Amino acid sequence: MSALINGRQLLPRQDTPAVKFPFFLGITVKKELRGMISGHLINESVDGEYKTYYYSQQIPVPTYLIGLVARNIVEKQINGNISVYSEPEFDDKVKDELIDLPIIQ
């Protein structure tokens, strides 16, 4: 089954650039994982062995721009403005590739 079909099952909306909407979504994962959605992280809560991450996207977007992941992901700070999210075994390699990016004031 393709990712497009799975996306339509997650959010049954018209799959067209003409239909856009803001969203508020939560993703619940085991505590040792990190859940991420293409929006701004606004809150986290823990319930036993699970953690829920809440994301908000105020800028209306079409459904095909909504991304979702749940993995062992860590954040590595590159400079004051840039962070990299990757699996722990790749974080130093990814950081090294982006270290020359300028700091934006």
Residue extents of the structural domains in the chain: 3-71, 73-105
Q: pLDDT per residue over 61-70, tens digit each? A: 988 888 889 9
In this structure, are residues 39 and 25 in contact, taking their beta carbons and an 8 Å threshold? yes
Neighbours of 22 (CB within 10 A): 11
- pTM for the model stands at 0.77
Q: pLDDT per residue over 5-42, tens digit each? A: 566 666 666 777 888 889 999 999 999 999 999 999 99
For residue 68, what are the contacts with CB-CB under 8 A and spacing of at least 6?
Answer: 10, 25, 27, 35, 36, 37, 38
